[in-house]
Structure 1
Amino acid sequence: MLPKTGRKLPVWKGVLGGRDMLAQTIADLLRKEHGDTHRAIKQLMNQTNASERTVKHWLSAQHAPDTLFFLRLMVSSPVIRAFVLGLIEGPASNPLSSASDRPVRAAAREAYAAGEAAYSALAKDVRESDPENGPDRDPEHDPEPVDLNERQHWFLERIVDGDRYGAKEIMAIWEVSLKTARRDIRGLQLAGLLVYSGSRRKGRYRPVH
């Protein structure tokens, strides 16, 4: 409810007072947990599947992690999780009553289960139809689609122009491995810029309009 003394919402203070303050706080927490070395960057990349450039932005407080990465940090980082719990239990939070706590938690569990089921079904459909997701593909280091590299920009332009290109064309023209070429294409798909349509043998990549 709005305060009776005025018509404006209360002003947020502290770490939630602005994006810059949040970015600086997250940067301080991540450096406290991982240090400020290249190894720290690699650790955070492995934890969140973010790109190196994105992690560097977090550590330098250029911006805070977006929603997806922040949730991944909450799951994988004890320091970030403790920070969030501190916010939830802090004086600015609106605590749940004992009567409403149980149904809210139950609804949250149901929503989480539904999300996991939807993701599993979508991932299965993509794996079965896309030839770049074969059994010899190693998805461990798939990039998070945050920053497109030069090869990805080139490949996307070719697809937009109507060319029937795939990972082998990236390999031949850019002289990279098949794994790297497939990783580039996967990054474009995760970014929502590219889809594979048709059968495994006769299908093709198409741009998302």
Structure 2
Amino acid sequence: MRTKTGTFVPKTGTNVHLEADAADYRTAIAAALRDELGLTHRAVKTAMRWTGASERTVKYWIAGERGPSGEHLIALARHSDIVFHMVLLLADRHDGADAE
């Protein structure tokens, strides 16, 4: 049996705690999608049509298990006023935290 060889990057340095921010983001976007679309299969299909994302991906977003990134977030914000406002609120909240 052959062992896997190669290089690895050691885990050193400063720990940055982004998990809380990521959870807040996922929860906020999920709430916005549920408010805008509801929890039906039609809601999933609508978000799929807006973004081009897969059904499983959209279900993760609505459940708050994962959050949309990049082009998907922009597409959601383009089609949903609630998502758009949520993104602005999240950006404003984090901008205020940087000023402290």
Task: Confirm or deny: 8 A CA contact 2:28 2:86 kept in the other structure.
Answer: no
Give, as a single letter, the amino acid of the residue that structure 2 aligns with 1:43: T
Cα pair distance change 1:62/1:78, threshold 3 Å: same
Residue 25, structure 1, aligned to residue 34, structure 2 = no
CA-CA distance at 1:79 after TM superposition: 0.7
Structure possessing the higher radius of gyration over alpha carbons: 1
Matches within 5 A, 1:107-118: none
Question: 1:57, 1:73 → 2: CA distance?
Answer: 14
Kindly indicate whether structure 1 or structure 2 has the higher relative contact order, using CA contacts under 8 Å at least 6 residues apart.
2
What secondary structure does 1:93 align onto? helix
> In proportion to residue count, which structure has more helix?
2
Give, as a single letter, the amino acid of the residue that structure 1 aligns with 2:41: H
Aligned-residue RMSD, C-alpha: 2.3
TM-score calculated relative to the size of structure 2: 0.68
CA-CA distance at 1:91 after TM superposition: 5.3
**Structure 2 equivalent of residue 93 of structure 1:** 95
**Structure 1 equivalent of residue 83 of structure 2:** 80
Structure 2, unaligned stretches of length 5 or more? 1-16
Percent identity over the alignment is 34
Matches within 5 A, 1:1-209: 17-88=20-91, 90=92, 92-93=94-95
Task: Confirm or deny: 8 A CA contact 2:51 2:72 kept in the other structure.
Answer: yes
Give, as a single letter, the amino acid of the residue that structure 2 aligns with 1:75: R
The C-alpha deviation readout for 1:46-89, integer Å capped at 9, x for no partner, is 1111111110110111110122211111212111111122234x
The C-alpha deviation readout for 1:82-133, integer Å capped at 9, x for no partner, is 1122234x35427xxxxxxxxxxxxxxxxxxxxxxxxxxxxxxxxxxxxxxx
Cα pair distance change 1:22/1:91, threshold 3 Å: closer
Question: After the TM superposition, which parts of structure 1 deviate over 6 Å for at least 4 consecutive aligned residues?
Answer: none
